[in-house]
A and B are shown apart, each in its own frame.
Chain A
């Protein structure tokens, strides 16, 4: 069965950096686009970033553009999110999700990022 396991979250000061990873299994990772979606405490869902199956196209939400960078290693079935210049408002649970035509068909359990001084 499909498994998506996020890691790399933690507590960081404003201005700091974190790199999230998402280990995928149970499907042919190299043939699917992948998303990062976040959810601030008590809030709704926000699209953060998307990458095509081959890494040829990337999308970023306005709130993270220029600060976050998405990438993938298809040889290791792993998705990444490099987060720089973190802000308090980036505090959230970050989910990776498998894409099927902009449907998010499978989700990981998420990893919590807390930005605080």
Chain B
């Protein structure tokens, strides 16, 4: 099973700041990484797929990068509605989720 490790566990930032979230795979997953956002009490929502492609309706402030084993989700300027938990997911070998990074208001 491919293990995804997300860091940091918690990111404390203010609105307007840049957020950088990391996801590391235990073996190469090529570019088959997706990112999901989950707000409290809500279901997850697909943000990014295949490392760098924004899903339908996702604002341009969300961007993804990486390949192989190291991936990054960047939120260029945090809006109040962006605070929540972010999960990465690989689909190179079946699929697994990372443990999540909580983005909280500083």
Judged by a CB distance under 8 angstroms, whether A89 is at the interface is no
| Complex: chain A residue closest to B96, CB-CB | A47
The minimal Cβ–Cβ distance linking A3 to chain B, given in whole angstroms, is 12
Within 8 A of A (CB), among B43-98: 43-46, 49, 55, 87, 89, 91, 94-98
B96 touches A103 (CB 8 A): no
Judged by a CB distance under 8 angstroms, whether B25 is at the interface is no
Contact among A44, A101, A105, A109 with B87 in the assembled complex (CB-CB below 8 Å): A44
Judged by a CB distance under 8 angstroms, whether B15 is at the interface is no
> Which residues from A are CB-within-8-Å of B100?
44-45
A103 touches B97 (CB 8 A): no
Inter-chain CB contacts under 8 Å: number: 38
Chain A contact residues, majority secondary structure: strand
Contact among B43, B91, B96 with A95 in the assembled complex (CB-CB below 8 Å): B43
> Which residues from B are CB-within-8-Å of A95?
43-44
B95 touches A102 (CB 8 A): yes
| Complex: chain B residue closest to A6, CB-CB | B43
> Which residues from B are CB-within-8-Å of A105?
46, 55
Given contacts A45-B87, A47-B96, contact A103 B44 (CB under 8 A): no
* Residue among B36, B46, B99, B100 having the largest count of chain A Cβ atoms under 10 Å: B46
B91 touches A107 (CB 8 A): no
Given contacts A44-B99, A44-B100, contact A102 B45 (CB under 8 A): no
Given contacts A44-B87, A44-B99, A45-B87, contact A102 B43 (CB under 8 A): no
* Residue among A46, A59, A107 having the largest count of chain B Cβ atoms under 10 Å: A107
- 29 A-B residue pairs with Cβ-Cβ distance under 8 Å, sorted by A, are A44-B87, A44-B97, A44-B99, A44-B100, A45-B36, A45-B44, A45-B97, A45-B100, A46-B97, A47-B95, A59-B94, A95-B43, A95-B44, A102-B91, A102-B94, A102-B95, A103-B34, A103-B46, A103-B49, A103-B91, A104-B36, A105-B55, A107-B43, A107-B44, A107-B45, A108-B43, A109-B42, A109-B43, A110-B43
